[in-house]
Amino acid sequence: MEVLLLGPQGSGKGTQAQQIAAEFEIPHIATGDIIRSMKDEDSPIGRDLKAVYDRGDLVADDLMIRLIEERLRRADAARGFILDGFPRTMAQAEALDDMLLELGRDLDVVLDFQVPDPDTLLGRLLKRASQENRSDDTPEAIARRLALYYDQTAPLVEYYRSKHGNVVGIHADRTVDEVYREIQQSLDQVGAR
């Protein structure tokens, strides 16, 4: 089962992806986790990633595409995967389509995490910042990442809807359990379970 999660930061993608991964025994491929671990490396790429991430900017498409392609080729992703945080741009979405075609795979479903109230997202992200002591979750960086999401990533929902027809909206402003029940129902409906 190949699942793509789209939605703004703070919409609960990571929390839900962990549950899906555990239930289906497939890897949760979270670009944020990959970048956070790499940015702490004392290397040129690590220092570059740290600077980009702390500003709240997006990592360049070419680097993200290489990271994801390498990750999808690992043995643990052969049975399926959950992509969280990639693609974020149209170039990345097109590269992912090419990558999956080359690997002989396709996305079963794209889950679009919807949170209509921006204050809900801000509150969740500020709470996460204090709980996890994350330097990248300042109010300014959060605002910048949300603006980038709505500008560059939100249009991908329509891209997948028109090109693949496999987008399911998820009401992500509810409790974790309510959201997961909706995801399970959606996976049943598209035959991914």
Q: Residue 66 maps to which CATH number?
A: 3.40.50.300
How many domains does the structure of the chain reveal?
Answer: 1
How does the average pLDDT of the chain come out, rounded?
88
Residue 49 lies in a domain: yes
Quick check: 36 pLDDT over 80? no
Quick check: 145 pLDDT over 70? yes
The whole-angstrom separation of Cα 150 and Cα 148 is 6
pLDDT (0 to 100) of residue 130? 83
Range of the domain at 42: 2-186
The whole-angstrom separation of Cα 41 and Cα 107 is 32
pLDDT (0 to 100) of residue 127? 87
pLDDT (0 to 100) of residue 28? 95
Pairwise pLDDT comparison (165 vs 193), residue with the higher score: 165
pLDDT (0 to 100) of residue 193? 58
Q: What is the mean pLDDT of residues 91-100?
A: 94
Of 128, 144, 161, 174, which is the active-site residue?
128
42: buried, middle or exposed (CB in 10 Å: 19+, 13-18, 0-12)?
Answer: exposed
Comparing C-alpha atoms, which of 40, 46, 98, 111 is closest to residue 72?
98
* Residue appearing with tokens 């693609």: 87
Handedness of CA 95, 100, 104, 108 (dihedral sign): negative
Residue 96 lies in a domain: yes
Tens digits of residue pLDDT in 102-116: 999 999 999 999 998
pLDDT class for 192, splitting at 50, 70, 90?
low
Does residue 79 have an active-site annotation? Answer: no
Residue 193 lies in a domain: no
Does residue 128 have an active-site annotation? Answer: yes
Tokens found for residue 183: 């995801």
Of 36, 55, 105, 134, which is the active-site residue?
134
pLDDT (0 to 100) of residue 174? 94
In terms of average pLDDT, the best of 2-6, 56-60, 116-120 is 2-6
Does residue 105 have an active-site annotation? Answer: no
Residue 16 lies in a domain: yes
